Amino acid sequence: SMSNGSSLRYGFNLDKSCFVDIEMNVQLVMSLFNTFICHPFPLFILLRKSPTMSKGIRRLYIAMHAAFIIYEIIFFFSIRIYAILPYPGLYCEGPLCRMGLPNSVVWGFVALPIATVQPPFAFLIVSMHQMFMTEGSPGKLSNRVKIALAGAQITIMSLNIFTFGFFGREPDNMDELMQEPELAMLAARGGQLLIFGSPGNPQFFLPALLFFYFTLAVNFPILCVCILHSMYSLKKISMAAKSTQTQMLTNKMFEVFFWQVS
24-68, pLDDT tens digit by residue? Answer: 999 999 999 999 999 898 888 888 766 667 888 888 889 999 999
- The tens place of each residue's pLDDT in the chain, 262 residues long, gives 444 445 888 889 999 999 999 999 999 999 999 999 998 988 888 887 666 678 888 888 899 999 999 999 999 999 999 999 888 899 999 999 999 999 999 999 999 999 999 999 999 888 888 887 777 777 788 889 989 999 999 999 999 999 999 999 999 999 999 999 999 999 999 999 999 888 878 888 999 999 999 999 998 898 888 888 877 777 776 666 655 655 565 555 555 555 555 5
Whole-model pTM: value is: 0.83
Three-state SS annotation for the chain:
CCCCHHHCCCCHHHHHHHHHHHHHHHHHHHHHHHHHHHCHHHHHHHHCCCCCCCHHHHHHHHHHHHHHHHHHHHHHHHHCEEECCCCCEEEECCHHHHCCCCHHHHHHHHHHHHHHHHHHHHHHHHHHHHHCCCCCCCCCCCHHHHHHHHHHHHHHHHHHHHHHHHHCCCCCCHHHHCCCHHHHHHHCCCCEEEECCECCECHHHHHHHHHHHHHHHHHHHHHHHHHHHHHHHHHHHHHHCCCHHHHHHHHHHHHHHHHHHC
> In this predicted model, what pLDDT tens digit does every residue of 201-220 receive, in sequence order?
888 899 999 999 999 999 88
